Amino acid sequence: MTLIEKRQKRIDDAVALREPDCVPITATGQCYAVYNAGYTIADIMYDFDKFAESVIKFAVQYEPDAAGRGITVPGQGPVLELMRPKNMVWPGAPDGRIDKNSIQQFVEYAVLLEEDMDFFMEDYTGWLLKKGYPATCGLLETLAEWDFTNHNVDFHYSGLMKMLSSPKTREMMQTIWKVSDIMAELDKKSIALSKKFEELEFPVPIGGRALVPFDAYSDFYRGTLDTMMDLYEHPDVIKHFIDRDIERVLESITKQSKHAPGKWVFMPLHKGMDSFLTGQQYRDFYWKYLQRMINHIIDVGMVPFVYTEGPYTSRVKYLTEVPKGKVVYSFEEVDPVYAKQQLGETACIQGVFPIYLLHYGTKQQVIDEAKRLIDILAPGGGYIFSTGAGFDQAKPENVEAMFETVRIYGKR
């Protein structure tokens, strides 16, 4: 059996709730990998090759059982400059709003205004063109000027052609083509990076991505605070959106299953944590849709990889309502004893290790916590060791201690 086959088997065994020969470890390093290679986050935002060099060096140095990107938008600095997003700031941007070693930051605000809710529900496509896209992307502001009300289906379409050929629209389309060409090159480099990982005998499990409809509504349409109010003042608007969006999400998952390089579908849960929703709201607006996504991912032959942001102990009881041995739950923060009790015979548990120990703890504290989590979560199988979140300015000796402890103490 080759090394990549051994690593893949460890991961597959853990997902299937079997005990592997050693507890697999999949920590990817995120920003730490970049710093470890001598670069800033601003550097890799504008140079994908530097990013690839960083994550390859991390994988070779620490030998995780799986490799991955960790950072979602490397190389996209030029794209963002052309698109001029209003809801994102990034390191290395001309405005210099954030530090060169910060990851990109999402700027949350209400794009969907209360006075536009009827328009939003009655004509979603029209709302996107006239309101949504222009409010979030400087490049697409011209769409707000498009007016189809005075154009009929006729022989010449002269008025339509004039509108779609305006100087502003021409400039927008030419920039869109530039963005598309850059993204196509980045896609090629991303595929090449995955192939390089495999050549180095590291599996690359992540192959797809999906977002729970409630998170999409809260993140991109109304913002967190307004969404919390909408749960009481406009629940019909939320329900209308998520009932429609779930169909789009399921269709996207089906398409991804046909060409994704890896079999895991990454689902970050942004607003499902303990404090945002009551238990009934979580079930009605969140879990019901997440559960459909999980089941659909399994049905199309992929693995749901669910990352629970924030404290999640009160939600664990819902997470048990899935097919056994088919799901990976990666926790940022959860009671590991309770999670093992509830999920041990249902789903694979990942994460939990606190990143603050890598940043500020001693080497012995790292070793002790790694052993504690292995003692709690590894017995009986169904456990993949990883950090609760991506780690950044960690102490190298602590990172090495974490990997070494798992390799030695995690052996069966």
pLDDT of residue 260: 80
Averaged pLDDT for residues 280-291: 97
- Amino acid at site 94: P
Average pLDDT in the chain: 95
Burial of 187 (0-12, 13-18, 19+ CB in 10 A): exposed
pLDDT of residue 153: 66
| Cα dihedral value 125, 79, 88, 354, nearest 10 | 120
**Predicted confidence band of residue 240 (pLDDT cuts 50, 70, 90):** very high
**Predicted confidence band of residue 248 (pLDDT cuts 50, 70, 90):** very high
> What would the pLDDT profile of 200-235 be if each residue is shown by its tens digit?
999 999 989 999 999 999 999 999 999 999 999 999
Q: Which CATH architecture has domain 3-74+187-409?
A: Alpha-Beta Barrel (3.20)
Averaged pLDDT for residues 69-73: 80
* Cβ atoms within 10 Å, residue 331: 28
Would you tell me the crossing angle of helices 363-377 and 336-343 to the nearest 10 degrees?
A: 20
* DSSP assignment string, 276-328: TS-HHHIIIIIIHHHHHHHHHHHHTT-EEEEEEEEE-GGGHHHHTSS-TTS-E
Q: Tokens in use for 397? A: 């000796």
**Predicted confidence band of residue 95 (pLDDT cuts 50, 70, 90):** very high
Instruction: Say whether pLDDT at 69 is over 90.
Output: no
Global pTM?
0.94
Instruction: Say whether pLDDT at 383 is over 80.
Output: yes
Instruction: Say whether pLDDT at 320 is over 90.
Output: yes
pLDDT of residue 160: 83
| Cα dihedral value 370, 374, 376, 379, nearest 10 | 180
> What would the pLDDT profile of 336-353 be if each residue is shown by its tens digit?
999 999 999 999 999 999
- CA gap 278, 281 in Å, rounded: 5
Instruction: Say whether pLDDT at 22 is over 80.
Output: yes
Residue showing tokens 């190389």: 75
Instruction: Say whether pLDDT at 24 is over 70.
Output: yes
Residue showing tokens 């949504």: 132
Identify the DSSP state of 138: G
pLDDT of residue 157: 76
Averaged pLDDT for residues 155-182: 90
Instruction: Say whether pLDDT at 44 is over 90.
Output: yes
- Amino acid at site 260: A
Secondary structure class of 37 (helix, strand, coil): coil
Domain residue spans of the chain: 3-74+187-409
Question: Phi/psi of residue 301, each to 5°?
Answer: 85, 20
pLDDT of residue 163: 87
